[in-house]
Homo-oligomer: A and B are copies of this chain.
Amino acid sequence: MTQLHPKATMTTGCSVERALNLIDGKWKIVILHKLLKGTLRFNELRRQIPAVTQRMLTNQLRELEADGLIIRTVYPEVPPRVEYSLSARGRSLEPVIMALKAWGDRNLSSPEVEAA
């Protein structure tokens, strides 16, 4: 045991702060976003998020699992196969993720700024 992800859940502050505790970490939202489209294997996730390292991906996946946002399924096959999918709780974050994506598409795709 490397004793990573020593957080899982926290109980401080308002609902916004507490919600953030579940989705902070550099890659959680991105991972959840990818999984919205369907179940993915470990290396499929890696390929879809090139900037993440293996270590970090594992770490974030473990935290997401510990928080009940994703489901990790191991198939005891000869070439190991592990699939990650959203739990009901994780899927309930879809409005948040899509709102964030919509905002990103609108505010970051266009180089123009400050449309007051």
Contacts and interface: CB of A to CB of B under 8 A. Distances in A.
A107 interface: yes
Contacts of A107: 19, 89, 92
Contacts of A78: none
A108 B18 contact: yes
Contact of A18 (B12, B13, B95, B110): B110
Contacts of A116: 87-88
A contact residues, range: 35 or more
B103 A92 contact: yes
Nearest to A116: B88
Interface string A81-102: 0000001110011011101111
A99 B101 contact: no
A98 to B, nearest CB: 8
A30 B15 CA distance: 10
Interface in A16-34: 16-20, 22, 24, 26, 29-30, 33
Interface of A: 12-20, 22, 24, 26, 29-30, 33, 49, 51, 68, 87-89, 92-93, 95-97, 99-110, 112-116
